């Protein structure tokens, strides 16, 4: 399996990151990653490895689609009407989206916790970060938020 | 106090959010009916069932908030640890030896004996029947094979673009520091020029937060990831570059997004990029028109 192991090492990180984006669940993303590579191993004689990782990503995407179908997400969300947002965004939303004080990862953690009401564990699972990282990012973002809005008197 | 708190809320968070308590509540109300981030992210990869895929893609397109949620969590922070990587590989080895393709373990353990008995019964019946019936040709049952995507052939080659800088890059300085943009990106650019894409990608990622308004950093980060065979990572970086909306790189970003999308297994998205480039007047237009035609 030496050749297969080398292919695995070359692509596993990008396949895992993609799987995580597909399902937003670290454990499930690991499962999908393992299943895609297992499929590759079984069909290694048929697949041109120079075409990887696109083939692996397609396998992951198909399996993720099956996962969401089993979750019956269409019934839950598809009938929800797309509502257009008011033209004027609130000042706080503008700051969250545009502030150069925040790195993307700070912004994401802030949005998910203080607007979408997620726990640190949920944020960690959805983003692939550790809970310790999430806690650190939130601490920084919250500190920036407090300083900005106290200073502005908002 | 927020209208709804996560279950792990800490008192300290009340103090830190006190200055924006009402604004946060208003923001929560404003986004109360948004699609969950999990659904939005899945839509961004094309991994949802068809109808919901359309709904969620429209929700991303139509909302800066949703767009940020999807784009910002794709910054490559999520990695498998060495331990997790080894653990998964061991699991794949184990499963590869344990289960033949397409047959779950329970199939072998439970149904194989039952099928053996049934097959014996069929054999006896067939022997008795053949004594009376005319001979027929028995075709083997077709083997059921799980559908597997065909290995894609890439229409778009991957050329290395030369380093170029916007006019802004020449005068840009980091906030609160003495270094210039040119100083800060030099290690990344030198590695990129030398073809050391691993170092280049790490260096570009390191300086990205210092110069969030730079288009060069996410663009060359995207190209480095393409050469590292990380097409989803390349798509993320190039989409970040596109959001900077600098005309100097507009066509380059479109072309390399097409390359990355194709390699990420999203030919429709690649085709859309090519079609857009084809209708323009950039140096990529002719290549894009030719490539778009070859996709059909």
ipTM, 2 dp = 0.85
* Closest residue in A to B212 (Cα–Cα): A100
Closest CA to B6 of A110, A77, A133: A110
Rounded distance between C-alpha atoms, residue B12 and residue B74, angstroms: 29
Which residues, 6+ apart, have CB-to-CB distance to A49 below 8 Å?
A7
| Partner-chain residue, chosen from A1, A39, A107, that has the shortest CB–CB distance to B93 | A1
Q: Which domain holds residue B205?
A: 167-295
DSSP β-bridge partners for residue B173: B180
| CATH code, domain carrying A148 | 1.10.10.10
Distance from CA of B21 to the nearest CA of A (A): 10
- Enter the tokens of residue B14: 């009340």
Provide Rg for chain A, Cα atoms. 20
Residue A68 in any domain: the answer is: yes
Which domain-ending residue is among B72, B95, B112? B72
For residue B196, pLDDT beyond 70:
yes
Higher pLDDT, B177 or B80: B80
**Binding-face residues of A in 39-58 toward B, CB within 8 A:** 39, 41-43, 46-48, 51-55, 57-58
Indicate if A48 and A104 belong to the same structural domain. Answer: no
> Span B182-190, mean pLDDT?
90
Which domain-ending residue is among A77, A108, A132? A77
Residue A112 in any domain: the answer is: yes
Average pLDDT of chain B is 78
Contact across the interface for A93 and B41, Cβ inside 8 Å: no
Distance from CA of A99 to the nearest CA of B (A): 10
For residue B7, the chain A residues in CB contact (below 8 A) are 119
pLDDT of residue A129: 79
Closest CA to A12 of B123, B127, B83: B83
- Dihedral in degrees, nearest 10, Cα atoms B201, B203, B207, B212: -10
Indicate if A60 and A111 belong to the same structural domain. Answer: no
The domain total for chain A is 2
DSSP for residue B159: P
Which domain-ending residue is among A43, A77, A111? A77
pLDDT band of B276, cuts 50, 70, 90:
very high
C-alpha neighbours within 13 Å on the C-beta side of residue A64: 35
Rounded distance between C-alpha atoms, residue B207 and residue B216, angstroms: 11
Contact across the interface for A34 and B95, Cβ inside 8 Å: yes
| Partner-chain residue, chosen from A68, A117, A122, that has the shortest CB–CB distance to B42 | A68
Residue A139 in any domain: the answer is: yes
Q: Where are the alpha helices (DSSP H) in chain A?
A: 2-23, 26-42, 54-70, 73-77, 91-98, 104-114, 120-127, 131-152
Give the pLDDT confidence of B213-231 residue by residue, as tens digits: 889 999 999 999 988 888 8
> Span A14-32, mean pLDDT?
90
C-alpha neighbours within 13 Å on the C-beta side of residue B19: 15
C-alpha neighbours within 13 Å on the C-beta side of residue B118: 5
Residue B134 in any domain: the answer is: no
> Span A62-71, mean pLDDT?
89
Indicate if A64 and A12 belong to the same structural domain. Answer: yes
For residue B134, pLDDT beyond 80:
no
Which residues, 6+ apart, have CB-to-CB distance to A122 below 8 Å?
A112, B6
For residue B175, pLDDT beyond 70:
no
The domain total for chain B is 2
Query: What are the angstrom distances between the C-alpha of A69 and each of A72, B5, B25, B50, B203?
Result: 5, 30, 33, 10, 40
Which domain-ending residue is among B72, B89, B123? B72
For residue B104, pLDDT beyond 70:
no
Best mutation site among B47, B157, B205 for testing chain A: the one with the most A CBs within 10 Å? B47
pLDDT of residue B244: 81
pLDDT band of A31, cuts 50, 70, 90:
very high
Q: Which domain holds residue A148?
A: 91-152
> Span B138-155, mean pLDDT?
45
Indicate if A57 and A120 belong to the same structural domain. Answer: no
Higher pLDDT, B19 or A113: A113
pLDDT of residue A130: 80
Higher pLDDT, B154 or B259: B259
- Asked if residue B242 lies in contact with residue B253, where contact means CB atoms within 8 angstroms, the answer is yes
pLDDT of residue B72: 66
Which residues, 6+ apart, have CB-to-CB distance to B131 below 8 Å?
none
For residue A118, the chain B residues in CB contact (below 8 A) are 6
- Asked if residue A51 lies in contact with residue B152, where contact means CB atoms within 8 angstroms, the answer is yes
pLDDT of residue A77: 73
Rounded distance between C-alpha atoms, residue B115 and residue B24, angstroms: 63
pLDDT of residue B223: 94
Give the pLDDT confidence of A84-135 residue by residue, as tens digits: 555 567 888 989 998 888 888 899 999 999 999 999 888 887 887 788 888 9
Rounded distance between C-alpha atoms, residue A83 and residue A78, angstroms: 13
For residue A29, pLDDT beyond 70:
yes
> Span B253-272, mean pLDDT?
91
- Asked if residue B163 lies in contact with residue B189, where contact means CB atoms within 8 angstroms, the answer is yes
Indicate if B68 and B171 belong to the same structural domain. Answer: no
DSSP β-bridge partners for residue B180: B173
Helix axes B37-44, A2-23, angle to 10 degrees: 130
Q: What is the DSSP string of B196-262?
A: -HHHHHHHHHHHHTT-TT-SHHHHHHHHHHHHTT-HHHHHHHHHHHHHT--GGGHHHHHHHHHHHHH
Which domain-ending residue is among A77, A103, A137? A77
- Whether A81 has its CB under 8 Å from any CB of chain B: the answer is no
Q: Which has the minimum average pLDDT: A148-152, B42-46, B182-186, B218-222?
A: A148-152
For residue A54, the chain B residues in CB contact (below 8 A) are 152, 154, 231, 262-265
Residue A50 in any domain: the answer is: yes
Indicate if A99 and A55 belong to the same structural domain. Answer: no
What's the pTM?
A: 0.59
> Span B14-41, mean pLDDT?
87
Q: Quote the Cα angle for B70-B73-B76, to 5°.
A: 130
Q: Could you tell me the end-to-end alpha-carbon distance of chain A, in angstroms, rounded to an integer?
A: 62
């Amino acid at each position: 399996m030496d050749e297969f192991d080398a292919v695995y090492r070359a692509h596993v990180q990008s396949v895992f990151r993609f799987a995580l984006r597909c399902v937003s669940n670290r454990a499930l993303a690991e499962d999908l990653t393992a299943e895609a590579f297992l499929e590759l191993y079984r069909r290694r004689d048929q697949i041109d490895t120079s075409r990887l990782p696109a083939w692996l990503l397609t396998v992951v995407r198909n399996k993720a689609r099956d996962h969401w179908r089993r979750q019956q997400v269409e019934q839950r969300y598809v009938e929800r009407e797309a509502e257009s947002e008011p033209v004027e965004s609130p000042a706080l939303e503008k700051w969250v989206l545009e502030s150069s004080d925040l790195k993307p990862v700070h912004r994401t953690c802030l949005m998910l916790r203080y607007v979408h009401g997620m726990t640190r564990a949920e944020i960690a699972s959805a983003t692939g970060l550790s809970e310790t990282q999430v806690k650190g990012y939130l601490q920084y973002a919250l500190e920036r938020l407090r300083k900005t809005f106290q200073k502005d008197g908002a | 106090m927020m209208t709804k708190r996560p279950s792990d809320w800490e008192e300290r968070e009340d103090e830190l959010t006190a200055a924006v308590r009402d604004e946060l509540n208003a923001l929560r109300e404003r986004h109360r009916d948004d699609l969950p981030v999990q659904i939005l992210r899945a839509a961004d990869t094309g991994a949802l069932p068809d109808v919901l895929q359309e709904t969620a893609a429209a929700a991303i397109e139509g909302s800066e908030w949703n767009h940020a949620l999807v784009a910002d969590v794709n910054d490559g922070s999520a990695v498998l640890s060495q331990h997790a990587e080894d653990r998964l590989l061991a699991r794949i080895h184990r499963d590869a030896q344990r289960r033949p393709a397409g047959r779950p373990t329970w199939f072998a353990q439970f149904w194989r004996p039952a099928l053996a008995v049934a097959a014996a019964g069929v054999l006896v019946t067939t022997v008795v029947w053949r004594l009376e019936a005319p001979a027929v040709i028995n075709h083997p049952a077709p083997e059921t094979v799980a559908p597997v995507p065909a290995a894609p052939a890439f229409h778009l080659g991957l050329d290395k673009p030369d380093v170029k800088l916007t006019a802004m890059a020449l005068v840009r300085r980091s906030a609160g520091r003495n270094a210039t943009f040119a100083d800060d990106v030099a290690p990344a650019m030198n590695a990129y020029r030398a073809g050391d894409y691993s170092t280049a990608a790490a260096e570009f990622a390191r300086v990205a937060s210092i110069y969030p308004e730079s288009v060069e950093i996410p663009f060359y980060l995207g190209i480095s990831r393409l050469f590292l065979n990380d097409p989803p990572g390349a798509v993320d970086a190039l989409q970040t570059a596109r959001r900077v909306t600098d005309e100097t790189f507009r066509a380059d970003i479109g072309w390399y997004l097409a390359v990355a999308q194709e390699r990420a297994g999203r030919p429709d998205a690649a085709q859309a990029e090519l079609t857009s480039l084809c209708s323009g007047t950039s140096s990529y237009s002719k290549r894009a028109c030719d490539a778009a035609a070859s996709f059909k």
